[in-house]
Each structure stands twice: as structure tokens, then as C-alpha cells.
Amino acid sequence: MSVKEFKTPVSEKTVLIGPDSGTDNIIFAIESSCDETAAAIVKNGREVLSNVVASQIKTHIEFGGVVPEVAAREHLEAINLVISQAFEQSGLKPENITAFAATVGPGLVGSLLVGMNAGKALAIAHDKPFIGVNHLNAHVCANYLNTDLKPPFVALLISGGHTQIIEVKSFLEQKIIGETIDDAIGEAYDKVARLIDLPYPGGVNLDKLAQTGNPNAYKLPEAKLQNEFDFSFSGLKTASLQLIQRLKKENEELPKADIAASFQENVTSTLFKKTKKAADNINAKTIALAGGVAANSEIRKKFFNLKDKGYKIYAPEMKYCTDNASMIASSAYFLANTTGSLDVEVFSRM
Ligand code: KG4
Ligand code: ZN
């Protein structure tokens, strides 16, 4: 059964949350783990009633990346406005909300504290349960938004901090089949983007440039690992650096588009090959992409091509791939890795 009992903080009333709760659950969620301040209201884990995101990209461009102290201060400045806009967009009032949720980790501690404390304050002020949500699990749940996806399926979670192939056995049970042993895929994208002087945020800019280059221009290495479903991107990063240094010596103008396209081809083929094999191994015909890098054009293309071969492929709409609060609300409803207590603390890593 997918249902859990939560208590309201003041009167300690019991509230049932989850697909088997027998009532409509309207969840107000906050996300602030990195560089987006976001709030959203979602009905029954799937129907988005409002979705507000304040991005800090403009501020971080100046520094070429996210500076934690700056991020935390920006969250503090944006949070109240984002919360009131989420209510406004939905036309709902706090009394219509079943529970308040917020990301509690993994992420930047100072940033997480802003969102989590706002969530707890709303829960206390309106006497509704507070639900602490795991950010990684929420990325997978982004696939439930506006769809009818149900487990079992295989998820490829690719973000700035994580790279995992996950067997989602039920709404509550997940098993990691493979993961990165060093850098996350998003990190590799951002680092290589910096090597060819692309502005922050690196991943999406590298993706755009890659679409104009030759993916077979340069051969880059693929790591061989003990568990064939694990990933390693640190060797690729070094090989990219060496290639760029050599090309800088040999050319007046660095062939950036070809470098970007060759890098993109290398990583997307690895992600595709391993995930498909992992799915085939357990006879799974449904694959869901999740995390910021799931917005990547080449990754989507490679996986969506599988639709002709009898696979069902899910990928969140672009705005639900990168950090947002709708996925946090969905995760609070579907319950995996949630904590229902005001004592929950933020955490930076898994
Ligand atoms: O999931 P996310 O928004 O934040 C984390 O939880 O990490 O993912 C951010 C990562 C960044 O590394 C960003 O460069 C990458 O996702 N990203 C992309 C694309 N859009 C975002 N990487 C490659 N291609 C894209 N189109
Ligand atoms: Zn994320």
C-alpha cells in the first residue's frame, strides 16, 4: 500500500498522504537545494496547479558558477515572492493545502535551510503536516507529472551531482543498478564547457554548440569498469583537456563545435548503451530519464528512437528536468524517501 500517516504540528491531527490515501492530496512544495528558488502546488502527485521558479543564473554568470553564500542570500531574497506567486497562480489558499513539503537534501546546506525553514514555518502557521523530500528521488518523480507512468521501470538519473541507473520496482522501492564512481555527468559537461570558454551554465550551452559540430571529429576514451553499469567521467575529462591543449597548439582557432559534438557523442552513447542493457537485463520495457541533463537534446534523441522498438520512453518536460518544486510535491505524494517530522535536518550528501 502506498499511504503514510503524517501528523499536523499544532493539533497533532492525523493526515493520510499517498496514492492509497483515499482522498485528494494537494501538496505545496519548495525547492532551494542549488541555484533555483522554486515553489509549486501539485494535486495527487501528477496535476500541476502552479509552478514558479526564480533562477539565479544571472547572478552566477558573473562568477562562472554557483557560490554557496551568494546562492543562500539569493534564496532568502526570492523565497517569499515565489511562495506567494505559487498560491496566486493556483487560485488556492493555505487552507486548501493538504501538506507542505520541501527539499531537505542533498544540496548546498545554506540554500536548503532557507527552503526547508520556509516550508516548516508554513506547516506550523497553517497546522498542516511538513514533509521533507529527497532531491534525487524527486527528479525521478518529475516523470509522474502530467503522465500516467507507474512502476516498474528503469530510471536514468543524470544531474549536476549524480549519475545513476535505478530500478524503480514500486512507488516505494528502488534499487541502484549502477552509478558514477567519480564525477557526475552534469559536472563533466560543466567542466568541459569551461575548458572551451562557454559561459555558465555550461551543460546547456555545450549542448547547443554540439548540435553545430561533427560528432565523429575526435575519438575520446570510454572507461572500462568492474560493474558494467557503473560510470566514470574523470578520465574523459582529462582526455578532453589534453585534446584541447593539443588543438590549441595546432590551430589558430579552436574547433569548439567539433570538440563539443565529440564529447557529447561520447557521453550520450555511454549513457544510452548502459541504460538500455540494464533495462534489457531485467526485461524492463519502460525507461524514464530524470535530472537536469535529461534536458539534453542528444540524450533525448537517442532514447526516443527506442520508441520504434517496443520501448516506452518517458522524459519530463524541459521545465521539469532541471530543478523545480513540482517534482518535490510529486515526490512528497509518492512517499519514497520522505520524512514527516519537524525535527528533520538538511543534509549535503547522500
Ligand atoms: O538537476 P539539475 O538542475 O541540478 C542538480 O540537481 O544537479 O542539473 C543541473 C545540471 C548541470 O550540470 C547542467 O549543466 C546540466 O544539468 N544540464 C545539461 C543540460 N541542461 C542542464 N547538461 C547537458 N545538456 C543540457 N541540455
Ligand atoms: Zn537537481
Ligand nearest to the CA of 203: 1
- pLDDT band for 59, please (50, 70, 90 cuts): confident
Domain 4-145+322-339 and domain 153-316 have a common topology:
yes
Any residues with CB less than 8 A from the CB of 151 and at least 6 apart, and which? 168, 169, 170, 171
Model pLDDT, residue 63: 74
**To test the ligand 1 pocket, which listed residue (137, 159, 196, 200) has its Cβ within 8 A of the most ligand atoms?**
159
Topology, domain 4-145+322-339: Nucleotidyltransferase; domain 5 (3.30.420)
**Which atom of ligand 1 is the closest one to the Cα of 139?**
1
**To test the ligand 1 pocket, which listed residue (189, 190, 263) has its Cβ within 8 A of the most ligand atoms?**
189
Model pLDDT, residue 64: 76
Any residues with CB less than 8 A from the CB of 246 and at least 6 apart, and which? none
- pLDDT band for 68, please (50, 70, 90 cuts): confident
Burial tier of 160 (Cβ tally within 10 Å: 0-12, 13-18, 19+): buried
Ligand 2 centre to CA of 250 (Å) is 39
Model pLDDT, residue 10: 97
- Which architecture, in CATH terms, is 153-316? 2-Layer Sandwich (3.30)
Model pLDDT, residue 87: 98
**Which atom of ligand 1 is the closest one to the Cα of 208?**
26
The answer to whether 332 and 344 are in contact (CB under 8 A) is no
Model pLDDT, residue 57: 72
Ligand 2 centre to CA of 169 (Å) is 22
The answer to whether 35 and 60 are in contact (CB under 8 A) is yes
- State yes or no: pLDDT of 1 exceeds 90: no
What's the Cα-to-Cα distance from 42 to each of 50, 105, 219, 275, rounded to whole Å?
A: 7, 20, 45, 30
- pLDDT band for 151, please (50, 70, 90 cuts): very high
Ligand 1 centre to CA of 151 (Å) is 25
Ligand 2 centre to CA of 254 (Å) is 32
The protein residue whose alpha carbon is closest to atom 20 in ligand 1 is 204
Across 339-345, average pLDDT? 91
pLDDT in tens, 76-116: 889 999 999 999 999 999 999 999 999 999 999 999 999 99
Q: DSSP labels for 48-93?
A: EEEEEEEE-HHHHHTTTS--HHHHHHHHHHHHHHHHHHHHHHHT--
Ligand 2 centre to CA of 264 (Å) is 20
Closest CA to 315 of 167, 144, 137, 138: 144
User: What is the DSSP code (8-state) at residue 180?
Assistant: B
pLDDT in tens, 182-241: 999 999 999 999 999 999 889 999 999 999 999 999 999 999 999 999 999 999 999 999
- State yes or no: pLDDT of 136 exceeds 90: yes
- State yes or no: pLDDT of 65 exceeds 80: no
Across 310-335, average pLDDT? 97
Q: pTM to 2 decimals?
A: 0.94
Q: Is the CB of 291 under 6 A from ligand 1?
A: yes
Q: Work out the number of other CB atoms within 10 angstroms of the CB of residue 43.
A: 17
What is the chain's Cα-based Rg? 21
Closest CA to 212 of 257, 154, 182, 166: 257
The answer to whether 194 and 202 are in contact (CB under 8 A) is yes
Query: Domain limits of the chain?
Result: 4-145+322-339, 153-316
Q: Is the CB of 207 under 6 A from ligand 1?
A: yes
Q: Is the CB of 45 under 6 A from ligand 1?
A: no
Q: Is the CB of 295 under 6 A from ligand 1?
A: yes
φ, ψ of residue 276 in degrees (nearest 5): -65, -45
